[in-house]
Amino acid sequence: MLKALINQLADPIISFPIATLAFWWMIKYYRFFGSKKFGMWALIVSIPVVAWFFADPNFYLIIKTPDNVPIGILLILVCFFTWFSLHKAAVNDERIEQGLVPIEALPENREKVWSWPNLVYTELFAIIACTAFLVIWAIIFKAPLEEPANPTWAPNPAKAPWYFLGLQEMLVYFDPWMAGVVLPGLVVAGLIAIPYIDTNPKGNGYFTFMERKWAIISFLYGWLVLWVYLIIVGVFFRGPNWTFYGPFEYWDLHKVVAEYNINLSEFIWIKGLGIGMPKNLILREIFGILLTFAYVGIIPVWVAKATKIGRKFYEDMGSIRYYIFMFLFITMMSLPIKMVLRWLFSLKYIVALPEWELNL
């Protein structure tokens, strides 16, 4: 009963909004989520829950795949360090509010210490611990090896290595040229651009949230929800034919999912205007094309003019920085927007030009 409910909730249609909402709450009440009390309770509650998940044969079937072990480790580390950095930020923010300096700036922490022994011994200890960890991991889990390569027989599902499964999951919503080339390229370019876009001089060299709210929100949303969460979906909830399966669901090859996705042009010309699709390609897709240009061209201008926060960004950053930031940000947000449009309206493509392999 409860398992059936969780199977339902795990579906991205529900779990993605939940993840986004949870993220928003975490940010809004970061002092509560970053408190020691919350961390302790989260740990106490999560242990039996994880044990209960493991006790399920279908969940165990997926998690025990040797290559999925690192994802378990990643999740534990991401949860811990997210809590830990919020905790550190909350402590420092409270100090800053009281007019004190952050912990890292206290005189005793600014004091210089010898690398030997302070630094080299820490490193030695970390190296020994890491080696022990890797050796034990290697003894317990054999490296996976399946049948010899057979180019004539494709496994179902055929999955990329786990760290790319967020990108593979994006293929549900975008064509390969976007999900596999343009968006990853923009992720890399955007990451490199961060220090040149973020002109806020505060928060350099210490944990804080308050002093650099927007930078942290944009980054963490991309990292935790759009990257890590999508990897979880791709690894644990996607079975044969990339169909959704709940964590307690058996990967039945014959699960049928009805999908009738339609394009924006079909929506407008056939359903809306009722006059059928025009022959001319550009005319046929004109609404989607205009919408796309409006999205990347008009929204940044409108945000800068009409909203308080937008005007502040524009004034702080200057026009070039501001536009690059807005372009990267709205490109990132195009993923959740496209997801929601798919779920609400079964929208397939905003611009559908399969004749040119250009689908958006």
Binding residues among 154-173 for other proteins as defined by CB under 8 A: 154-155, 158-164, 167-168
**CA-closest candidate to residue 323, choices 179, 174, 196:** 196
Closer to other proteins by Cβ: residue 29 or 196: 196
Which amino acid makes up residue 288? G
Closer to other proteins by Cβ: residue 45 or 181: 181
Closer to other proteins by Cβ: residue 205 or 274: 205
Closer to other proteins by Cβ: residue 118 or 346: 118
The residue range among 79-87, 265-273, 332-340, 342-350 that interacts with other proteins, by the rule CB under 8 A, is: 79-87
Could you give the dihedral angle defined by the CA atoms of residues 302, 304, 305 and 306, in that order, rounded to the nearest 10 degrees? Answer: 70
Backbone φ and ψ for 155, nearest 5 degrees, come out as: -70, 155
Distance CA 176, CA 343 (A): 20
Does residue 102 belong to the site contacting other proteins (CB under 8 A)? yes
- Report 10-69 residues binding other proteins (CB under 8 A): 67, 69
Distance CA 338, CA 334 (A): 6
- The burial of 28, by beta-carbon neighbours within 10 Å (0-12 exposed, 13-18 middle, 19 or more buried), is given as exposed
**Which residue among 1, 57, 150, 256 contacts other proteins (CB under 8 A)?**
150
Closer to other proteins by Cβ: residue 40 or 119: 119
**CA-closest candidate to residue 26, choices 14, 38, 37:** 38
Mention every residue, 6+ apart, whose C-beta is less than 8 A from residue 292: 350, 351, 360
Does residue 98 belong to the site contacting other proteins (CB under 8 A)? no
Distance CA 212, CA 40 (A): 27
* Vertex 166: Cα angle to 325 and 340 (nearest 5): 70
**Which residue among 179, 226, 230, 303 contacts other proteins (CB under 8 A)?**
179
User: Is residue 254 within 8 Å of residue 241, measured between CB atoms?
Assistant: no
- Report 186-215 residues binding other proteins (CB under 8 A): 188, 191-192, 194-196, 198, 200-208, 212
**Which residue among 49, 51, 97, 147 contacts other proteins (CB under 8 A)?**
147
Does residue 259 belong to the site contacting other proteins (CB under 8 A)? no
- Report 299-358 residues binding other proteins (CB under 8 A): 353, 356-358
Sketch the per residue contact string, 113 through 132, with other proteins: x for CB under 8 A, - otherwise: xxxxxxxx-xx--xx--xx-
359, containing H or E segment = strand 358-359
Distance CA 233, CA 236 (A): 6
Q: How far is the CB of 2 from other proteins (least distance, A)?
A: 31
Closer to other proteins by Cβ: residue 187 or 264: 187
Which amino acid makes up residue 80? F
**Which residue among 94, 104, 252, 316 contacts other proteins (CB under 8 A)?**
104
Q: How far is the CB of 29 from other proteins (least distance, A)?
A: 18
Q: How far is the CB of 337 from other proteins (least distance, A)?
A: 21
Greatest Cα pair distance, the chain, in angstroms, is 79
The residue range among 49-57, 71-79, 319-327, 336-344 that interacts with other proteins, by the rule CB under 8 A, is: 71-79
**Which residue among 44, 143, 256, 306 contacts other proteins (CB under 8 A)?**
143
Q: Residue written as tokens 């992720």?
A: 187
